Every structure is written in C-alpha cells, then in structure tokens.
C-alpha cells in the first residue's frame, strides 16, 4: 500500500471547526482548508489530486450559499462529497445539489474516514 496520504478539501468558514477537524484527521489525510467560496474554487483548481470534498452549507453566513458550488464541482469531480451542516434541511439541499453523504459537524472526522475506507 502506498504511503502517500489522500488529500481532502474542506470548505467551512468556521475556523474552530477546521482546527478541530484538522487535529482529528492529522496523520490520516492531508486537509486542504477553504474558508470562503472563492478560496474553495482556488484550492479545487490548485489541488487536482483531491479525493474527497467536505462542504458546509453556509459559507459564510446562516443561509445556504454553497449548493451552486457543489453543482460546479460535481461537473468535473467524481469523488465523494460530504454535506456538513448543523441543520438537516441544509444538508438535504447539498445532497440534492450533488453531495453523496451527509454528516453533522461533530461526526465529520469519523464519517470522512468511513467514506474513504480509512478506519482501522
């Protein structure tokens, strides 16, 4: 098995969540963080070896802003995409836009590792 770590793009404007997730995923995956839609688009282009995408619904704010970004990424990205939000109705909007899975923010690290088959 290759020692190369898989790379994951996490689109989440909450710095605290990004920090916690990075700590929990350290040594298992390489996290590419994006805190805005513009940054997410830039990181997506700059990192063609991304194998999964985690997408918060509201980047930034309290209303869903990322369903169109999910559709844009989905047009060229075939890997797993996980909708993450504190609200199940927002997760549903991301699923309808093209995400494959959903997760609460609290459970995201475990869900991501499960989706990637990296649980041991």
Is 6-115 in CATH node 3.40.50.2300?
yes
pLDDT of residue 120: 59
pLDDT of residue 2: 46
Break the chain into its structural domains and give their ranges.
6-115
- How does pLDDT run across 25-39, given as a tens digit for each residue? 999 999 999 999 999
Give the pLDDT band of residue 119 (cuts 50, 70, 90). Answer: confident
In sequence order, the 6+-apart residues with CB closer than 8 A to the CB of 59 are: 11, 12, 13, 35, 36, 37, 40, 65, 66
pLDDT of residue 80: 98
Question: pTM of the prediction?
Answer: 0.94
- How does pLDDT run across 9-25, given as a tens digit for each residue? 999 999 999 999 999 99
Instruction: Tell me if 83 sits within 8 A of 55, measured CB to CB.
Output: yes
pLDDT of residue 1: 40
- How does pLDDT run across 50-107, given as a tens digit for each residue? 999 999 999 998 899 999 999 999 999 999 999 999 899 999 999 999 999 999 999 9
Hey, what's the torsion of the CAs at 38, 72, 101, 78, to 10 degrees? -120
Q: Does the pLDDT value for residue 3 go beyond 60?
A: no
């Amino acid at each position: 098995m290759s020692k190369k770590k898989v790379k994951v793009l996490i689109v989440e404007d909450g710095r605290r969540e990004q920090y916690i997730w990075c700590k929990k995923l350290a040594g298992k995956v390489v996290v590419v963080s994006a805190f805005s839609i513009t940054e997410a688009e830039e990181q997506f282009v700059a990192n063609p070896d991304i194998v999964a995408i985690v997408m918060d619904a509201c980047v930034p704010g309290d209303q869903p802003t990322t369903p169109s970004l999910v559709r844009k990424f989905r047009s060229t990205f075939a890997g797993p995409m996980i909708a993450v939000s504190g609200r199940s109705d927002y997760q549903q909007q991301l699923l309808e836009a093209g995400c494959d899975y959903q997760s609460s923010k609290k459970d995201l690290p475990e869900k991501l590792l499960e989706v990637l088959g990296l649980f041991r």
